Amino acid sequence: MTEHFRVAIVGSGPGGMSAAGRAAQSKLSHVLLEKTDHLSDTIYKYQKGKLVMATPDILPLRSPMDFKLGIREDILGTWDKQTKELGVNLRYNAEVTKITGRKGAFELTVNGKDKVTAEYVVLAIGLQGNLRKLGVPGENDPRIQYQLDDPDEYAEETIVVVGAGDAAIENAVALAKQNKVIMINRSAEFARCKQGNLDLITKSLEKGVLECMYKSSPTKVEAGPRLKFTLKTADGEAVVECDRVIARLGALAPRAFVESCGIQFPSKDPTALPELSAHYESNVPGLYVIGALAGYPLIKQAMNQGYEVVEFIQGNECEPADEPLLKEKFKGALLDRYGSIPGLLAEMQKTVPVFSGLTTLQLREVLLESNVHTPKGGGEIFHRNDYSNTFYTIFAGEVGIEIDPDHPDEMVRLGPGEFFGEMGLLAGRRRSATVRATQDCVLIETSRREMIKLIKSVPKVRDVVDAAAIERQIRSYIAPNLSKDDMAAVLESAKLRSFKANEVIFNEGDPGDGVFLIRTGSCTVSRRIGGREIVMNYVPAGHYVGEMALVRDMPRAATVKAAIETEAVWLDGAGFRMLMDHLPQLRSQIERRIGAIITQTEDISQRPEAGNLIQFLVQEGGKEAADMLLIDEALCVRCDNCEKACAETHGGISRLDREAGPTYATIHVPTSCRHCEHPHCMADCPPDALHKTKDGEVFIDEQTCIGCGNCERNCPYGVIHMAYDPPKKPGLLSWLLFGFGHGPGEDKIASHASHEGKKRAVKCDMCKDIEGGAACVRSCPTGAAIRVHPEQFFALTTHSPQ
Amino acid sequence: MHESILVYRGFRYLKLSLWMVAIAVVAYIVHQPTVGPPNGGTALGYTLGTIGVLLIVWLAWFGVRKRRYGLGKVKLEDWLSAHVYLGLGLIVVATLHTGFQFGWNVHTLAYSLMIFVIVSGIFGIIVYVRFPRLMTENRRGSTQRDLLAQIAELNAKAREISVTLGDDIHNEVMASADKLALGGGALKQLSGRDRNCPVQHAVKRVGELVLGLPKSDAEKGRTVLSLLARKLELVERVRRDLRYKALMDIWLYVHVPVTFALLASLAAHIVSVFFYW
């Protein structure tokens, strides 16, 4: 018998479940089809006790089901209860294998045999797809698992983990605490994982915590008292006996199934998502797509979509959940002028080229994360040398950029549709110019995180930003007063070039064919002296290299190498010579620079150890640091007053390990934050708890840190650690007279913490809230501890401490 | 950039101290007491005494200031540089205050304690200038924990190989691990040596015993010997490290307590001068 419903909802994740809940609430005949025997399989498979985030925080939830930040078990429990209470018509173990028909008469095949018909179908199957199996004889043995709930459940076993992705690495390392673990990696290295996990597995393998068989793939599994796992390796066949196999091989994307339903994808790109109407309807009328498959991977967004899609199916218009928030942002004259938010957004996409490549939904999301400013004419927006890194777009009005601080009246003016602030964003350096409103303006200020997301995911945004950025960078770093025509000629030859870490930008002796303006990253300049490569200098972003060969008409005098991933604007020789001819100041500035370089080169070639020191500092983080703590061990009396001061000024836990860390000659780089320009720790912080201050300090917001440990894993310098709150210190007298607890400066790593309460990440914040600055440096009695900017490396080598 | 306390800010505090000393000396030469020889009871004597007391209290305050982490805008290095130079200047100021009158009394006791504290401080300056560099060179980039871990690793390796080389060698290897003591009492740390070092003993004994091994075991024997020799080098390095650290710490165990004794005797000196003179 075929059952018939108004709406069939496929998949019981947050989106599908919320849609079914709304349908039940609206007394709409519906069915929710779930292929497993529980709700929301993706979340169900999270590790036990995992904290589930409810981002974006400001987005209101619109769903008959509840959802807020909490642990996996509580959230799933609430949903189970609420689907029952609402009377959701839920079928477990019902895998939809085929969808045919059209609006009003869809036919869904369940488990390959049963049929269900529906007028509308909502596809909410997510992106997880079906887990990939081993694909060898014996793959169905119950001791072969394709997921791992709780790694602590197993002990004293030999476990084979197959795979080389993030899940495999995380599982393998977690299991290795109590078990003997052997990883099976099909390739010769770990190339598909996040940097943090690559470091994790590399360290674990070095320490011998677990083993890994490279270039190996399974051929069969034989059951027995223990599993006999046969592998094909580079050296022939190998057999591993084990108690358990955990295979983490990723999933088969659901795309083939979605396409079989008639839904089209805009491109062959595996990350492409189906194109949808503003009502989430696909190109097949009556067939709707919501959730991760519709491009909305966050739980709250998916739940809101579930609610909305059922309203749309019932013919109800419903304004998006974020509408009131946007109205609040744009309230006043602006909203009145365009009548409604959709009208305003349409106008914005027309005037602002950066936003023109976004879908309406993407634009809404960007605006939610942005601030609207309406400065009056003359007001300052930001100041030269500020360390803020937000991105501004001009919706109305005009701003002026004071490129040359000595001539504040000479401003470059920008009008509606243009943007500014991208240099701080791209280079991670201080603001290169002061910007003020020259008329009353409407400006949209977007966060760095949101902008970087857009630049990475929307090619149009990247192109628009890059094109304008190249011109601005030339203006700001080389030729501020270039006329429009001359600039056009220079831009003609300008090209964006990117270099990997340690890649050579040009070699000593190469013909000098152009100048490189370093726009992000940094590089080292070195020469071969007496058969050895000696580092001469370090060049951070915002400077150019290669001008010497052009001016002197000689081959390259030195080798320039990218210290980290670096992007440079390349200007060809003719273009750059033209610049020098037009701008006598530039020529004399370059002549002066060359003079300084020659002296410096002569100096360093007499003292190769100074070059080695620069090289050492660059390697130890100088290449991306805004600020480094350096200890001169010829002065350091090992009193640890720096650590004590750090702990005493930061809630009892030192963020600095003086003794650990590398040393060259007597210069020691302790384990302490480098305050990177593009901080690795900030790359993957789920609650966005890591921030950069105006002055460039990277700090953790203790209130929002959830203690997930991502930053600790992602930091290449090991300067972040996880800590519990330390016990309260006793009063001075009760410590002095009765020996209660720890006194001033004692127990600076909080070894007596209670291990209760929240564990959170701690790191150096450069004493941003403490008057007088870094306590470690101020508390060093002998002047051994200093903080330096990478620009000072050369000066450091010329200075003798005694 | 890096600057040691001695050259700090272009010798700012040395200059200050020299000025203080110069003024005191000139005043001492110029001043003619109305009664008797120069002493602490004259107008100049009282002035110098007051300066001396204030200096001593201020110098002692360094111990408190050092523990006030994160407070105050002045760097601790400023304080220490001033502490060193003004402390040295105090010798002159206080000596002139005495008018070179010494005796077996509480006044001279205070003076002697002060000199003792300053001399221990001079020792401190010397070790602070000399040992940090030696310590770094001795460590060769490793931390103490690294060195100990390397020793433990060599222990395990040597034990594993020596199992098959007969009881004599094996026992030496075991003893070189079990009886090894690093650190210990103050004198032992300061000496940086262990007369009965089991590792040294083992290297010597195993060196002899290896000669008696059958040919098939000779290679293994040599490996054990080289492991022990490497361990001996590490052990000596750790002892040197501990010795430097001990020398850098030990003088404070004199400097600080004697300062308290000085403050007490100074109080006695002042009280007795004003009430019983």
HEC string for A581-631:
HHCHHHHHHHHHHHHHHHHHHHHHHHCHHHHHHHHHHHHHHHCCECCEEEE
Per-residue pLDDT at A755: 58
Give the residue, A135 or A116, on which the prediction is more confident: A116
- As given in the structure block, the two tokens for residue A322 are 């974020």
Q: Give CA separation, A671 vs A42, A76, A763, in Å.
A: 38, 41, 10
Asked whether residue A94 falls in the same domain as residue A145, the answer is: no
Contact A779 B69 (CB under 8 A): yes
Per-residue pLDDT at A428: 62
pLDDT at A801 over 70: no
CB atoms within 10 A of CB A531: 5
Contact A770 B70 (CB under 8 A): yes
Give me the residues of A, 652-671, that contact B with CB < 8 A.
659-660, 662-663, 666, 668
Angstroms from A795 CA to nearest CA on chain B:
8
Q: Is residue A369 part of a domain?
A: yes
Asked whether residue A589 falls in the same domain as residue A549, the answer is: yes
CB atoms within 10 A of CB A210: 21
Give the residue, A422 or B106, on which the prediction is more confident: B106
Type of residue numbered A652: G
Angstroms from A788 CA to nearest CA on chain B:
8
Per-residue pLDDT at A758: 66
Contacts of B8 in chain A (CB under 8 A): 783
Closest residue, chain A, to B82 (C-alpha): A781
pLDDT tier, A506 (very low <50, low <70, confident <90, very high otherwise): very high
The C-alpha R_g of chain A, in whole angstroms, comes to 30
Closest residue, chain B, to A787 (C-alpha): B1
Asked whether residue A516 falls in the same domain as residue A386, the answer is: no
Q: What is the CATH number of the domain that holds A455?
A: 2.60.120.10
Structural domain ending residue among the three candidates A451, A477, A503: A477
Asked whether residue A523 falls in the same domain as residue A547, the answer is: yes
What is the number of alpha carbons within 13 Å of residue A597 lying toward its C-beta? Answer: 22
Contact A660 B133 (CB under 8 A): no
Per-residue pLDDT at A78: 94
Asked whether residue A467 falls in the same domain as residue A588, the answer is: no
What gap in Å lies between CA A324 and CA B71, rounded to an integer?
47
pLDDT tier, A749 (very low <50, low <70, confident <90, very high otherwise): low
Strand (E) or helix (H) holding A162: strand A158-162
pLDDT tier, A752 (very low <50, low <70, confident <90, very high otherwise): low
What is the per-residue burial (b if ≥16 Cβ within 10 Å, else e) of A143-159? ebebebeebeebeeeeb
Q: Is residue A66 part of a domain?
A: yes
Asked whether residue A284 falls in the same domain as residue A235, the answer is: no
Q: Which residues on chain B place their C-beta less than 8 Å from a C-beta of chain A? A: 1-8, 66-67, 69-70, 72-73, 75-77, 79-80, 128-129, 131-133, 135-136, 141, 143-145, 245, 248
Give me the residues of A, 718-757, that contact B with CB < 8 A.
744-745
Contact A780 B77 (CB under 8 A): yes
Contact A783 B8 (CB under 8 A): yes
Q: What is the CATH number of the domain that holds A213?
A: 3.50.50.60
Contacts of B79 in chain A (CB under 8 A): 781
Task: Provide φ and ψ at B7, rounded to 5°.
Answer: -100, 5
Contact A637 B128 (CB under 8 A): yes
Q: Which residues of chain B have pLDDT under 70?
A: 277
Q: Are A283 and A264 in contact (CB under 8 A)?
A: yes
Mutation test of the interface with chain B: which of A667, A782, A792, A802, choosing the one with the most B Cβ atoms within 10 A? A782
Asked whether residue A524 falls in the same domain as residue A661, the answer is: no
Contact A801 B67 (CB under 8 A): no
Closest residue, chain B, to A793 (C-alpha): B1
Question: Helix, strand, or coil here: A676?
Answer: strand
Type of residue numbered A150: D
Per-residue pLDDT at A763: 93
Give the residue, A34 or A484, on which the prediction is more confident: A34
DSSP single-letter state for residue B164: G
Using CB atoms, pick whichever of B6, B67, B129 lies closest to residue A744: B67
What gap in Å lies between CA A145 and CA A140, rounded to an integer?
9
Q: Which residues contact A700 (CB under 8 A, 6 or more apart)?
A: A689, A690, A711, A720, A760, A761, A762, A763, A765
Angstroms from B160 CA to nearest CA on chain A:
18
Contacts of B145 in chain A (CB under 8 A): 659
Q: Is residue A210 part of a domain?
A: yes
Q: Which residues contact A346 (CB under 8 A, 6 or more apart)?
A: none
Per-residue pLDDT at A427: 62
Number of domains in chain A: 5
Q: What is the pLDDT of residues B90-144, one digit of tens each?
A: 999 999 999 999 999 999 999 999 999 999 999 999 999 999 999 999 988 888 8
Contacts of A635 in chain B (CB under 8 A): 2, 4, 132
Asked whether residue A638 falls in the same domain as residue A776, the answer is: yes
Within an 8 Å CB–CB cutoff, is residue A459 touching chain B?
no
Bridge partners (DSSP) listed for residue A373: A443
Contacts of A779 in chain B (CB under 8 A): 66, 69-70, 76
Bridge partners (DSSP) listed for residue A43: none
Per-residue pLDDT at A800: 54
pLDDT at A196 over 80: no
Structural domain ending residue among the three candidates A249, A266, A289: A249
What gap in Å lies between CA A770 and CA A749, rounded to an integer?
20
pLDDT at A635 over 60: yes
Using CB atoms, pick whichever of B1, B128, B245 lies closest to residue A782: B128
What is the per-residue burial (b if ≥16 Cβ within 10 Å, else e) of A214-247? eebbbbebeeeeebebbbeeeeeeeebebbbbbb
What residue numbers bound the domain in which A531 lies?
486-606
CB atoms within 10 A of CB A207: 9
Q: What is the mean pLDDT of chain A?
A: 85
Contacts of A799 in chain B (CB under 8 A): 1-2
- As given in the structure block, the two tokens for residue A16 are 């599908």
Strand (E) or helix (H) holding A101: strand A96-102
Contacts of A772 in chain B (CB under 8 A): 70, 72-73
Per-residue pLDDT at A678: 83
Asked whether residue A708 falls in the same domain as residue A687, the answer is: yes
For residue A787, count CB atoms less than 10 angstroms from its CB and return exposed for 0-12, middle for 13-18, buried for 19 or more: middle
Contact A783 B132 (CB under 8 A): no
Quickly list DSSP for A406-429.
Answer: T-TT-EEEE-TT-EE-HHHHHH-S
What gap in Å lies between CA B88 and CA A641, rounded to an integer?
24
Closest residue, chain A, to B252 (C-alpha): A639
pLDDT at A644 over 60: yes
- As given in the structure block, the two tokens for residue A533 are 């490569």
Contact A644 B69 (CB under 8 A): yes
Closest residue, chain B, to A799 (C-alpha): B1
Contact A772 B67 (CB under 8 A): no
Question: Helix, strand, or coil here: B102?
Answer: coil
Asked whether residue A679 falls in the same domain as residue A716, the answer is: yes
Q: What is the pLDDT of residues A540-553, one digit of tens each?
A: 888 889 988 888 88
Asked whether residue A535 falls in the same domain as residue A566, the answer is: yes
pLDDT at A802 over 50: no
Find the distance separating the first CA and the last CA of chain A, reported in whole Å: 94
Structural domain ending residue among the three candidates A477, A511, A526: A477
Asked whether residue A431 falls in the same domain as residue A550, the answer is: no
What gap in Å lies between CA A767 and CA B73, rounded to an integer?
13
Q: What percent of chain A has pLDDT over 90?
A: 27
Contacts of B143 in chain A (CB under 8 A): 659-660
What gap in Å lies between CA B77 and CA B84, rounded to an integer?
11
Q: Is residue A67 part of a domain?
A: yes
What gap in Å lies between CA B209 and CA A428, rounded to an integer?
65
Closest residue, chain B, to A781 (C-alpha): B77
Domain boundaries, chain B: 8-101, 144-246
